[in-house]
A and B are shown apart, each in its own frame.
Chain A
């Protein structure tokens, strides 16, 4: 069995597709938890979740740039692109599931698991590819779960491990290609999303045209997420997602020089009571069909689907659309807030929330219609 997870270009495409799906899969849970917090309360918790959420959008864009650079378009409109919550994450952590839920101690624990740092080498006593652990519950992974070819029982322990494997794959494939005078960076550079189209969203977007910029982009994702080598702050003094969330458990900020687990900065309160009691993993079928909340949740899903379709086009050469998509995002936020602040009729102890039931069906329909019109 090879220790390498990526052995050819289609493995790399597959991994990057999963990366985009993975970054996106964290957005509904983060967004819902953020908007579940009562206005004007839990300022520190809101700021932490918002900062992470925005960086996930950057990570999605960076992964899309890398995928375009190695010759494949992302597909955000695939029918299985948005997971059915609760879900496993596409990089295959086997010990937890991710839900659309209100901000709570349990939700915070899940967020910490999503962003957890890689195990250090000596902790990692499993045999098998680096960063991987044995997975027995394969059937539970509904997403395009990634595992080494020929070693299906392995999956990644952390998102950082997953990206390290991608970097390793790029280095291996590019070295091979270079030997015969080729490169894997065959994508059209005009497809890259640059900072002209992507602004104030969690950092600078990196245009990917070669190995160096690809590694730069993927390293930024690792650094912002779990931090490199268990560092709390990165080289620019920004705190990583994991420690950002961990501060909420301690009710205290980290400052430079602190050791993990012992923040020494300013203290603050996290009030889990000041949260709308969203129904966990809500589905349209939870809402009475003749209710406002049903209509609003359905409209939200439709708008979200259109939004994804627009971002998808932006990742396929129509970058201008990203500027308009920003307005769409603010609208989605308003609609999500409305849902979350309303009790479910007949179940007033539970509030509504966006269900993110996106099948991809309507989008195909829309595109087909357009093609027909254009042909005529």
Chain B
């Protein structure tokens, strides 16, 4: 596996931990590479690699899901630099939209003129995880079928992300 593939894979795992959708569901949107590229383009490769390496070390040192979540909150979501980026990744996956980073973050770390609020591409809106989470069809984008609104939503969470304790053999 080359370094690029490794980074995309780690990005997928981090996205899973942040959104609670597993790699199968994330790949299923067809957006993994697009979101990874967007993130790199806007916050820069150095911050992305810092975020991913922090994630990997947290993952490898946690022995269960609870412990992992605890350190994810503390060292990524609670971090002044990485926290806003991680929250933007959550919003990106759920809505297909890149939201402009907060002013304080832009002042401290931001350098991209492209950091504005935008849909990543025309498919990303419809692929937003929010639609899967509530089993609804993105308005005006995917066909629900006439009358589908009369049946109850069919929500199931069998595509949740799972923490698997790290072993060297699994790499």
Contact = CB atoms under 8 A, between A and B. Distances in A.
Query: Are these two chains actual partners, yes or no?
Result: yes
Interface of A: 38-40, 199, 292-293, 295-296, 323-324, 326-330, 334, 337-339, 341-343
A341 B33 CA distance: 12
Given A40-B123, A327-B145, A296 B24 contact: yes
B27 A342 contact: yes
A337 B28 contact: yes
Contacts of A329: 145
Interface string B142-154: 1111111001000
Contact of A330 (B24, B30, B142, B147): B142
A338 B148 CA distance: 21
A330 B121 contact: no
B30 A337 contact: yes
A338 B28 contact: yes
A343 B145 contact: no
Given A39-B123, A40-B121, A327 B28 contact: no
Nearest to A299: B158
Contact of B144 (A293, A323, A327, A343): A327
B29 interface: yes
Contacts of A39: 30, 121, 123, 127
- In order of increasing CB-CB distance, the 5 nearest A-B pairs are A338-B28, A327-B145, A292-B24, A326-B145, A39-B123
Given A292-B23, A327-B147, 5 more contacts: A326-B146, A327-B144, A330-B148, A337-B28, A342-B24
Contacts of B137: 330
B167 interface: no
Interface of B: 22-25, 27-30, 121-123, 127, 137, 142-148, 151, 158-159
A295 B137 CA distance: 23
A369 B30 CA distance: 39
B159 to A, nearest CB: 8
A129 to B, nearest CB: 43
B18 to A, nearest CB: 19
A341 B27 contact: yes
Interface of B is mostly: loop
24 contacts: A38-B30, A39-B127, A292-B22, A292-B24, A293-B24, A323-B147, A324-B147, A326-B145, A327-B147, A327-B148, A330-B137, A330-B142, A330-B143, A330-B144, A330-B145, A330-B148, A334-B142, A338-B25, A338-B27, A339-B28, A341-B29, A342-B24, A342-B27, A342-B28
A38 B121 CA distance: 13
A3 B137 CA distance: 54
Contacts of B25: 338
Contact of B27 (A295, A324, A343): A343
* Most-contacted residue by chain B among A38, A323, A327, A343 (CB, 10 A): A327
* Most-contacted residue by chain A among B121, B127, B145 (CB, 10 A): B145
Contacts of B146: 199, 323, 326
* Most-contacted residue by chain A among B22, B28, B143, B159 (CB, 10 A): B28
A72 B158 CA distance: 42
B164 to A, nearest CB: 12
Contacts of B123: 39-40
A206 to B, nearest CB: 21
A260 B121 CA distance: 37
A166 B161 CA distance: 54
Contacts of A296: 24
Contacts of B142: 330, 334
A330 B25 CA distance: 17
A292 B28 CA distance: 11
Contacts of B145: 323-324, 326-330
A206 B151 CA distance: 30
A326 B151 CA distance: 13
A312 to B, nearest CB: 19
Nearest to B124: A39
A38 B122 CA distance: 13
A22 to B, nearest CB: 26
Contact of B122 (A40, A324, A334): A40
B24 A338 contact: yes
A338 B121 CA distance: 18
B84 to A, nearest CB: 28
A323 B127 CA distance: 25
A327 B158 CA distance: 21
Given A38-B30, A39-B123, A327 B151 contact: yes
Nearest to B24: A292
B154 to A, nearest CB: 8
Contacts of A338: 24-25, 27-28
A268 B122 CA distance: 20
A334 B145 CA distance: 13
Contacts of B24: 292-293, 296, 338, 342
A43 B24 CA distance: 25
A292 B24 CA distance: 7
A337 B30 CA distance: 9
